[in-house]
Amino acid sequence: MRVYNWTEDEDEIATDAVTVGIRSDTRILAIGGLQFGAREAIIYWPESSANGTLVRASLEGPMPVESALRRADALCASHAFKRVVIWVQHHELWDKRWGLLAPEKGL
């Protein structure tokens, strides 16, 4: 299972990675604890130079998380980024079906 570096700090940027940001604007308190509404993802990549070609910084989304993770992998391959990292609004938004978050926060 894939392990992602991650952060909850929206100001933390990985300059060698495509970042998938996961958020939910809807939070509902339920009797068993905190539940989140629908999740959505945004993809960001910084400006870089791959094989002598300038790649401009850009942002895509929102989109479903699964789609964002697939798109991030494709962007890594086409723009020579080294990895995909995760920014998550709240750690509880992460679904283990997408992979695992590293034990420690940090990109």
Rounded Cα distance, 84 and 45, in Å: 10
Residue indicated by tokens 């970042």 = 19
Predicted local confidence at residue 34, as pLDDT? 62
Q: Note whether residue 60 is domain-resident.
A: yes
Residue 7, domain extent: 3-101
- Domain count of the fold of the chain: 1
Predicted local confidence at residue 49, as pLDDT? 82
pLDDT tens digit string along 5-54? 999 998 999 999 999 999 987 655 544 556 667 889 999 999 988 778 88
Reduced 3-state DSSP string for the chain: CCEECEECCCCCCCCCEEEEEEECCCEEEECCEEEECCCEEEEEECCEEECCEEECCEEEEEECHHHHHHHHHHHHHHHCCCEEEEEECCHHHCCHHHCEECCCCEC
* pTM for the model: 0.88
Q: Note whether residue 106 is domain-resident.
A: no
Q: Note whether residue 97 is domain-resident.
A: yes
Q: Note whether residue 80 is domain-resident.
A: yes
Q: Note whether residue 107 is domain-resident.
A: no
